[in-house]
Amino acid sequence: MIIVFSGIDGSGKTTYADRVLSYLKSQKINFKYHHIVKDSFYNFILHNVIGRISSSSQRSIEQGLRKPEKKLKHLILRSIKKILLLTNLLCFNIMFWRCRSSIKRNIICDRYFFDDIVQLEYLNLASRSFISFYKNLIIEPDIIFYFKIDPTVAFKRKMEYEIGYYLEKCKIYDDWAKRLPNVTEISENAIEENTKIIQERLRRLIK
C-alpha cells in the first residue's frame, strides 16, 4: 500500500506525515517511510558523488534545475534532470514490489512522483509526451492526501522563493489534484482536526 502526502512547499505535508508515522507506530502497524527527494537516487548522486568531486558543480546543478526554462539555457541540465527523475522512479517501483512481500508493505511517501510532474511543468522542462510517459510509469497510490493551501500562506511559512513561485505552482497542483485518482483534499483546518480526518481515512484502508 502506498500512502502519499503531497502539496506545495509550506503546505504542511511533512508535519502531517510525521504525525501519521507516530500514529502507525502507536497502532503497531509496520510501514516504510520514503521521502521522495531526500531518499532519491538523484539526491544520492548529487550530494554523494557530484558533491564530493565538486561542491561548486553541485550548487550550480541545484540552482539551475530550480529555474524556469527561460533561465535554464543548457540542454544538458534538462536532460540530466529527466534521466535522474526516471531513475528515481524506477528505483522506487522496484522497492515497492520488494516491499509487497515484506512486513513493511505499507509505504508512507512524503511527496510523490506527481510532485515531480508539477515541478516539470512549472520549469517547462519536459514535453507533454514525456510527462505522459513518466506518468504512466508511476504506481497508483492507494490514497493521496493533497494539502491545499492559500499560496500566500505557504509563502509566509517558507519564504525560500518569490510569491510568484507559490501562486503558479498552486495552480498546477490544483489542476493535477482534480485529475488524479484516490485524492483526499486536506484544507487549512486546525492541525488536530486534519489529523483526525487523515487517521480516519487510514483506518478504513489499513487492516
Residues 6 or more apart whose CB falls under 8 angstroms from that of 85 comprise: 42, 113, 116, 120, 134
For 155, counting Cβ atoms within 10 Å of its Cβ (0-12 exposed, 13-18 middle, 19+ buried), the class is buried
In this predicted structure, what is the pLDDT of residue 49? 65
Q: What is the pLDDT of residues 72-115, one digit of tens each?
A: 556 777 787 888 889 999 999 999 998 887 767 889 999 999 99
Confidence grade of residue 67 (pLDDT, cut at 50, 70, 90): low
DSSP string for residues in 84-126: HHHHHHHHHHHHHHHHTTSS---EEEES-HHHHHHHHHHHT-S
With beta carbons less than 8 A apart as the criterion, state whether 46 and 62 touch: yes
Confidence grade of residue 40 (pLDDT, cut at 50, 70, 90): confident
The greatest distance separating any two alpha carbons of the chain, rounded to the nearest whole angstrom, comes to: 50
For 75, counting Cβ atoms within 10 Å of its Cβ (0-12 exposed, 13-18 middle, 19+ buried), the class is exposed
Domain extent for 8: 2-205
What is the C-alpha separation between 65 and 80, in angstroms, rounded?
9
User: Does the structure show a pLDDT above 60 at 70?
Assistant: no
In this predicted structure, what is the pLDDT of residue 63? 61
* Averaged pLDDT, 159-177: 93
In this predicted structure, what is the pLDDT of residue 174? 96
What is the C-alpha separation between 27 and 103, in angstroms, rounded?
15
* Averaged pLDDT, 49-53: 67
Confidence grade of residue 42 (pLDDT, cut at 50, 70, 90): confident
* Averaged pLDDT, 154-180: 93
Q: What is the CATH number of the domain that holds 49?
A: 3.40.50.300
What is the C-alpha separation between 162 and 137, in angstroms, rounded?
32
| Number of separate domains in the chain | 1
In this predicted structure, what is the pLDDT of residue 50? 66
User: Does the structure show a pLDDT above 60 at 71?
Assistant: no
In this predicted structure, what is the pLDDT of residue 75? 72
Q: Which residues pair with 34 in a beta bridge?
A: 109
Half-sphere exposure for 101 (CA within 13 Å, toward CB)? 3
pTM of this structure:
0.86
DSSP string for residues in 174-199: HHHHHHSSSEEEE-S--HHHHHHHHH
AA letter at 149: I
Q: Could you say which DSSP state residue 139 is in?
A: P
DSSP-based three-state secondary structure for 2: strand
With beta carbons less than 8 A apart as the criterion, state whether 98 and 32 touch: no
